[in-house]
Structure 1
């Protein structure tokens, strides 16, 4: 225990050595005060107006990007998940598919966003494609865990009474996986909502782009309005998703 504590203290001290305060601007503290003031005194007109520049419209666009990207990713992840499950396909196939999915998960969402923007141009469509691709990697991994925990005794019983493959899927596999898959998808949507806000910073639609523009222009009242709207949206979605997932888990 003492050795671990000493190692942690050494790492902490080494990390502090990387902090350089000499580059701080002389107006830094004043800027910090302006940021806090802007958040406490937001632009209410921007916050409550419903147009393409208003917070409500931008939040709806952000939710739409996250929702559509999650749905597309959730559907495309299903075949990859079954191809990765060692109890469904031969081990070499499962191994190769898992390697591909690891590669997909390795690349950060913002990098995918920058690549898709070069292909489709800036806008919400690039955000949807990014959310879809990043969702495939994570959802497939979580799907596999659920598939490998399938109760095979049910399928064996159905085989013994002469059920065909479609009947096995309809009455043996889907009932076992549906609730778990849906819970995983809800969890991923919660994550995608945050990622969609960040993707806006690189021009992939949503609330991120107006937020970074307002910060670069030192319009802190607008920054406050955008942040307030984003925080309220994320809290609301998290509350709803937690309730839905709790109901799914309890059956």
Structure 2
């Protein structure tokens, strides 16, 4: 018996050569990628700027951090949160019918295919490009950021909604169909009660993503706190930049804690 085990072990497929080749290819790709990195801008000035940023974080402008005017950090953070929240709500609402039309277990294949192509096209364009497009249409301001967040939310949220819909228990739908319920009634009474926790959890997660994206969109004039941050850094006002960064850090931590608690409540019932 032991001899048979040893013979089987000796006859095992040996992948050592393939593993070595794969490792060599990966190392070669990493070396080739590193060769394209250019650090000529890093030098004495780069170290001084990094030190100034750290100094600004350690000594933020408390007047800017606690003032309640439109130029203050609290107002800018509130504007960023509003853009993210409304963008998430609008995108999540638009994503619901798109997700149902794209679900292959609920809709005919041609309809699902066309809807998936639309969602894929929406997800292809980066948020930064959408922001530049809407700024040209509506002008700079929070409304352009709201439209950008809404459209970006549709792509990701629809994809996650589709996965949740296609993982549904088909037995519930078959029971409702046997009872004479139409397609809309099946969705209303058999699908939505199962999906609402997943939908809400996905929307909360997307709100976290939008909160960070809204900060970046502010750099192109789409409202929020991004533009004052880049202006402060461009003008070497490191104390102002430190105050804005501290506000962002505190906001992200608070929103992350609240959203995590809500998602746990929805998914686990705790």
Matches within 5 A, 1:124-135: 124-135=142-153
Q: Distance in 2 between matches of 1:145 and 1:24?
A: 45
| Residue from 71, 91, 110 that aligns with 2:128 | 110
Q: Cα deviations across residues 111-144 of structure 1 (Å, max 9, x unaligned)?
A: 0000000000000000000000011111111111
* Large movers: runs of 4+ above 6 Å: none
- Greater shift in the superposed pair: 42-51 or 21-30: 21-30
Aligned-pair CA distance for 1:191: 0.5
Counterpart in the other structure of 1:10? 28
1:94 aligns with 2:112: yes
Q: RMSD in angstroms over aligned alpha carbons?
A: 1.5
Q: Cα deviations across residues 11-54 of structure 1 (Å, max 9, x unaligned)?
A: 22222322333344642222221111111111111111111111
Q: Calculate the TM-score normalised by the size of structure 2.
A: 0.88
Q: Distance in 2 between matches of 1:168 and 1:22?
A: 63
Q: Cα deviations across residues 135-193 of structure 1 (Å, max 9, x unaligned)?
A: 11111111111111122211222233344555433321211111111111111111000
Q: Distance in 2 between matches of 1:200 and 1:22?
A: 29
Q: Distance in 1 between matches of 2:231 and 2:195?
A: 44
Question: Secondary structure, in 3 states, of the residue corresponding to 2:47?
Answer: helix
| Residue from 222, 229, 236 that aligns with 1:204 | 222
- In structure 1, runs of 5+ residues without a counterpart are none
Q: Distance in 2 between matches of 1:46 and 1:4?
A: 54
Matches within 5 A, 1:46-195: 46-163=64-181, 165=183, 167-195=185-213
- Greater shift in the superposed pair: 23-32 or 102-111: 23-32
Matches within 5 A, 1:229-244: 229-244=247-262
Q: How many equivalent pairs are there?
A: 251
Q: Cα deviations across residues 31-83 of structure 1 (Å, max 9, x unaligned)?
A: 22111111111111111111111111111100000000000000001111111
Question: Secondary structure, in 3 states, of the residue corresponding to 1:27?
Answer: helix
- In structure 2, runs of 5+ residues without a counterpart are 1-18
Question: Secondary structure, in 3 states, of the residue corresponding to 2:202?
Answer: helix
Which protein is bigger by CA-based radius of gyration? 2
Aligned-pair CA distance for 1:243: 1.3
